[in-house]
Each structure stands twice: as C-alpha cells, then as structure tokens.
Structure 1
Amino acid sequence: MSTDRLLASRRLDVALALVAQGDYAAAAEVAQAAISADARWDEAHFTLGDIYERAGEAENAIEAYRQYLILDPIDRMGGEVRLTLLGAAAMRDRLPPDYVRALFDDYAPRFEISLRDRLSYRGPELLFEAVREQLDAMAGPIEVLDLGCGTGLVAEVFGGAVDMIDGIDLSPRMINRAQAKGLYRTLIAGDITAMPDALGTGYGLVVAADVLNYLGDLAPALRAAHARMKPGGLMVFSLEHGDVFPYDLGPGQRFRHHERAMDEWLRECGFTVLSDAYGTLRQEKGSPVEGRIMVVRATDGLDLLAGDVAQLSEQDLPVAQTVH
C-alpha cells in the first residue's frame, strides 16, 4: 500500500482547523482523507478519534482509538485513557508512563505559563502552608525529595525554608527546565514508583505536588517514598478527591482518590496522618478543582498496629481544616 505522509499531514492540518471552527463533521471527513493518504500514521487515527469524541460519536471514536493503539501499542498519545473515559477499556492502576512522559515533554516549554497564568495553579504554596509549622520545628539540615518535580515550582516555594532539594520526574525536558533554575542538588529522570539509586535516603521531607493524580493505586509510590525517608520524616502531597472507591479517572484525565482508600494505603505503607485539608488546587475550564492537601509522618510500622493508633499524642491526630 502506498503512503503519502506529506499529503496526510496537510489534510490533518485542515481537519484541525475545522475542529477549531467547530465543524466536526467536515473535520472528520478530512481526517479520514488523511488516513486514506497514510493509513499507517497513528496520529491521524488518534486525531480522528478525538474529532468523533468531540462530536459525541462515541462508537466511531472508540474504533478510531483502537486502530491508533494497534499502530502505537506504547500509547504515547493516551488512546487507552480515552477508551477508559468512554467506558471501552478497563480501569488501569496508573496512566501509561510513556504517555505521561510524552505529554510533559511536549508541555515543558509552556508548562509554567499555562499553570500559573491560565489555570491559577497554587499547589506548591498550599503544600508549603500545610507543612510550614512542622518545618520550623525540624532539626536541620532539612533534605527534601520533590516527587514529580516538573520545572521546579516546588523548589521555588520551599527553597528558602530547607537546606537541600533533590527532584525526580518522568519527563527529561521538565528536568532540563528545573536544572536551569539551579535550585536542586540532584535531578533524576525516573519513575516515582521505582526510584533509582542515584537519589539519596534519609529525607526529612517528601513533597508531591499534583503528581499522585497520575497514579490510581498509590501504594507503590507511597512505599517508594517511605523507603527514602528517615523515621519520623514528613510527606506532604495534593490529591483530587473522588467518591468512587478506591479511585476513578476524571474527565481531566487525572485520577481521583477515595478517602477510605487513602487511609488504607497510608496505614499499609507506614504513614500516620497529621493533617488533611481541602482547598482549590487550580482552575479547569473556568471551574475550581477542589483537592486535598495531606501531611503524613513516616513510622517504622510498629506504631500502626491497631492498638497503637489510639495512643497517638494529640498533636499527631488528623486535623480537619479548609485552606483558601
């Protein structure tokens, strides 16, 4: 079968222009013409699926996304995520790492402008406020591990209150942006569920700002974080709250976690809850995204036996509060 990628690309550009105008029927027709020029082009099939999805043609969208996945089984564009949201694929325990990596590699140059200026993102500030009093009471030096560090927004907020910060992120391009700021001791491109040996141990604080939302089952990430922390160390993180146990995938393609599931994971992985606050993490399509800001303490596991939980001191009991 002959292919003409240049012709297909030109036709797909026209289809995307029609999408911008809201003419989904014409856009789908032109996208099909792009596929006829190059039926092996995975991006054209994914785009056709997106057009059908926007038009409310779920069955056609599902077929297009499935064809995309045949051509790109690594799933760099997130076809399986789309199928899950359409009810045509089983819920996985995390978003595909290759998809997340590609997403943020592409997003890196406009990441901060998009989050700060357009989405009013304030996750790092909320995390800092949640843990500031505990930081003031901690004996130095305070070494921090920033999970899903992105371009370094956490380091900008926490840097003046701690001694050293290391970061890890799936996206090499995000790491490059963070490196340019000169705020980190070590930066590693890697997975937070299986952190490489290049990162240290004995961290007094672990920060996870808007990163656990890309994982469904949080136990692997919590275990990996606990293994890097010193006993009594703190972890502060943000979550999007969900009503489905243990988690579901929201329309923004991020996981939402049920409160009871979080309690079970934290207990299983060696953490006790110090505070659990609610606040607005960012704006999305003009509406606030409400989330939870949790501060937890790493234990050696013995304190988590059923009889010991009741003996926690008053300062270690969960505090219900709301942040604004």
Structure 2
Amino acid sequence: MTGKQQKIDEEALAEAYNRALAHEKAGEIDAAVAAYQEVLGLDPEDHGGAAVRLASLGRGETPPKAPDAYVETLFDQHAEAFEDILVEQLGYAVPMIVRQRLQSLNLGPFKRLLDLGCGTGLTGAALRDMVEDSTGIDISENMVEIAHEKEIYETLYVAEVEDFLEDNDDDAFDLITATDVLPYLGALEPLFFGAAENLAPGGIFVFSSETLPDDVLAGRTYMVGPHQRFAHAESYVKERLEATGFEILEVTDINVRLQDGNPTPGHLVVAKLKA
C-alpha cells in the first residue's frame, strides 16, 4: 500500500488484504469476499484492487474500470522490473505486432503519435522511426521516469488516460496507440470517444484487448477475468468503435501474453477515424 492517504490504518489494511488473499487461495470464497469488503471500507480509493478481485470472484458489481489508485500503485511498484517481467517472462510482443500490422496495411509514416498507457516506452520504441513526434501518457510516475530516461518521446505526461483525453487541447494526432490498456478498463465508451476527439480525420487508432471464450463471457460485453484483468467481447469492441465514428480496418487474433504458462487470447485492432 502506498500510504498516500495518511488516514488509512495501514496495519489493519494489510492484515485484511492478506487474510482475503489467503481465503481466496484456500477456496473460501465467502470469507474472501467479506475480507475484501473490509479492505474497501478501510481504503475506499482501493490501492489494492479489491473491487476487481471481487468481480473476478463473480461477486459484487463489475466496475467500469480498475480503480486509478490500484493501477498507479501496481505499475509504480513494478516499474523497475516491468520490462523483464512482461517481455522476458510473459512473452509480451504486442508493440512489435502493432508495427507489423501498420506496415502490412501500408499505414504511415505518421506525424504525431499519442501512446496511451505508454509505460516504459515499449510501443513508442517500436514505432519510433515511423513517427515524427511522440507523446506518451501513463498514470505511473515511476514508469514515465523510465520512459523519459530512454528519450523515446518528445513529450511525456503523468495522467490517467481517460482524463487526459478529455482535457487535452493540443494539436490533433494522426496515430493513437493503446497497448495493454484495455485490460484495466471495462466500459470502452470514454476511451473510444476520447480517442476520436484527439485524432485528426482519417487518423489511426490501434489497440490490444484481451478476451475470453463465449461460454465464459456468457453474453456479457466485458468482465473481470480470473487474473483481475478485464476481458472484452469482440462484438462489443467492434460495435463501440463503429458507434464512435471509426471504420475498422483489421481485427487480428493474437496471444497477448503468457499467464501461468498459458497463452492469453486477445485482439489487435486497427481502426480509422472517418473523415
């Protein structure tokens, strides 16, 4: 826990959270749920992600997105080891898939890139020679510091993605990327609308998403999966894009990452804002 809120009883919070995890691991779901609810009572901002853990257990309301405090804490804590964990251990190659798909569709070069959830700069680095000017956004200050040291981006902001898209009044971008962002968002309307508002007509929006089999989604547009990450139905992604004024150029089935040694199915989507 970060201790950013001085009023939080850190000791009681840690005890309740560890108790919740122990109950969950033991399959004692009712006891785990009660403990996670206790965690939320102690820390309403939810730095530990109790709300998404409850949703992953099939209890409580599915939140519209992962709590900001949770995402910020998660990535701040893992910033130093982030690339080793994601690339070396989890086989994450989405940034290079983005590059390949843009090239195969003969898209680019681009003038202005906005890399949402830029992290340490993996996508920015993969596309560096395809863009003139790069802007990176991430909620984690520690991640942004590492990206800054690499000198990949001309501009970097520490901000929550949806807030930035809503408030930004810079010049329009002609390429927006969001790799490994959707697993922390449930409802996609704010992201897609914000991307449309920040793209020039004809601009390209590329992003990755995770999904689950139809029988698991069971008609839901999105849900929190067993690893506390949001999975989206392909039909929901397509429908929301088209409703927001995008033309879908391509949807590619991809393996997003390994999880416990197993592939995580997902999609790489390339869309164009209608002029």
What TM-score do the two structures reach when normalised by structure 2?
0.90
Gaps of 5+ in 1: 1-37, 301-324
CA distance in structure 2 between the partners assigned to 1:235 and 1:142 by the alignment: 14
Give 1:249 deviation, angstroms: 0.9
Q: Distance in 1 between matches of 2:16 and 2:110?
A: 53
| Match of residue 119 from structure 1 | 90
Letter in 2 for 1:256: A
2:175 aligned partner: 205
- The letter of the residue matching 2:235 is R
Per-residue CA distance 1:89-118 (angstroms, 9 max, x = gap): 111111111111111111111100101111
SS of the residue 1:194 aligns to: helix
RMSD over aligned Cα atoms = 1.7
Q: 2:244 aligns with which of 256, 269, 276?
A: 269
Equivalent of residue 104 in structure 1, options 50, 75, 95: 75
Distance (Å, rounded) in 2 between the aligned partners of 1:39 and 1:254: 25
Picking from 52, 56, 62, the partner of 2:27 is: 56
Say if 1:141 and 1:124 are closer, same or farther in 2 by CA, change over 3 A. closer
Percent sequence identity over aligned pairs: 34
- Give the Cα separation in 2 of the matches to 1:253 and 1:234: 29
Query: Which amino acid in 2 is paired with 1:150?
Result: G
User: Structure 2: how far apart are the matches of 1:159 and 1:199?
Assistant: 23
Structure 1 residue 271, shift from structure 2 partner: 0.5
- When you count strand as a share of all residues, which structure comes out higher? 2
Change (3 A) 1:141 1:158: closer
1:128 aligns with 99
Unpaired runs of at least 5, structure 2: 1-8
Question: 1:215 and 2:185 equivalent?
Answer: yes
Poorly superposed stretches of 4+, deviation over 4 Å: 196-199
Asked whether the 8 Å contact 1:147–1:168 carries over to 2, the reply is: yes
Alignment partners' CA distance in 1, 2:10 and 2:122: 42
Contact 1:188–1:198 (8 Å) recurs in 2: no
State the partner residue of 1:311.
Answer: none
Q: Of the candidates 281, 289, 299, which is equivalent to residue 274 of structure 2? A: 299
Tell me by how many angstroms 1:201 deviates. 2.9
Indicate yes or no: 2:113 matched with 1:144. yes
Q: Call closer, same or farther: CA 1:137–1:103 in 2, change over 3 Å.
A: closer
Bigger shift: 197-206 or 44-53? 197-206
Matched, 1:67 2:55: no
- Counterpart of 2:208 in structure 1: which amino acid? S
- Give the distance between the partners of 2:10 and 2:142, measured in 1 at CA: 31
2:163 aligns to what? 194
Q: Distance in 1 between matches of 2:45 and 2:172?
A: 35
Contact 2:29 2:57 in 1 (8 A): yes
Separation in structure 1 between the aligned mates of residue 14 and residue 94 of structure 2, nearest angstrom: 33
Aligned length: 261
Which structure has more relative contact order (CA 8 Å, sep 6+)? It is 2
- Give the match for residue 5 of structure 2: none
1:224-257 alpha-carbon deviations (Å, 9 max, x no partner):
1111110001111111123323111111211111
User: Structure 1: how far apart are the matches of 2:227 and 2:58?
Assistant: 15
**Would the alpha carbon gap of residues 41 and 235 (structure 1) be closer, same or farther in structure 2, given more than 3 Å must change?**
same
2:23–2:31 contact (8 Å) kept in structure 1: yes
* Alignment-derived partner of residue 259 in structure 1: 234
- Please give the alpha-carbon distance, in whole angstroms, between the structure 1 residues aligned to 2:36 and 2:107: 52
> Residues 56 and 227 of structure 2 are in contact (CA less than 8 Å); yes or no, is this contact kept in structure 1?
no
> How many Å separate the matches in 2 of 1:292 and 1:253?
18
* Residues 40 and 71, structure 1, Cα contact 8 Å, conserved in 2: no
Mark the structure with the bigger radius of gyration: 1
d(CA) in 1 for partners of 2:225, 2:100: 27
Mapped partners of 1:119, 1:39: distance in 2: 31
Match of 1:283 among 255, 258, 274: 258
Q: How far off its partner does 1:170 sit?
A: 1.0
